[in-house]
Amino acid sequence: MKQQPNNPLHGVTLADLLERLVERYGWEELGNRIQIRCFTHDPSLKSSLKFLRKTPWARAKVERLYLRSVCYENRNVARKSRGEGGDEGQGDEG
């Protein structure tokens, strides 16, 4: 298998990704953020996975939300644990 050190989705299954998003937002908010029927009308993990596997544009939207929320949240937690603030030096003071 090819190494992909710069791909944050490498090794993350679609099921894991969707479970994390549902855990974070819940189905209702997920349906508000990504307006696709499998999230807004009687949502379930099974039916959503089936739809997302067949529909590249919808899968891309879910992956983007995952990257914006879960992955970058983890990056910020890691920075804080190392003592890197990330907000210092921001702005036009000085």
Please name which of 65, 63, 36, 64 lies closest in space to residue 51, comparing C-alpha atoms.
36
Is 14-80 CATH 1.10.720.30? Answer: yes
pLDDT classification of 86: cutoffs 50, 70, 90? low
Q: Torsions phi, psi of 54, nearest 5? A: -95, -10
Query: Mind listing the pLDDT tens digit for each residue in 28-77?
Result: 999 999 999 999 999 999 999 999 999 999 999 999 999 998 766 666 66
pTM value is 0.71
Integer Cα distance of 39 and 32 in angstroms: 9
Q: What is the pLDDT of residue 93?
A: 46
Domain ranges of the chain: 14-80
Q: Name the residue with higher pLDDT: 3 or 34.
A: 34
pLDDT digits (tens, 9 = 90+) for 10-33: 888 999 999 999 999 999 999 999
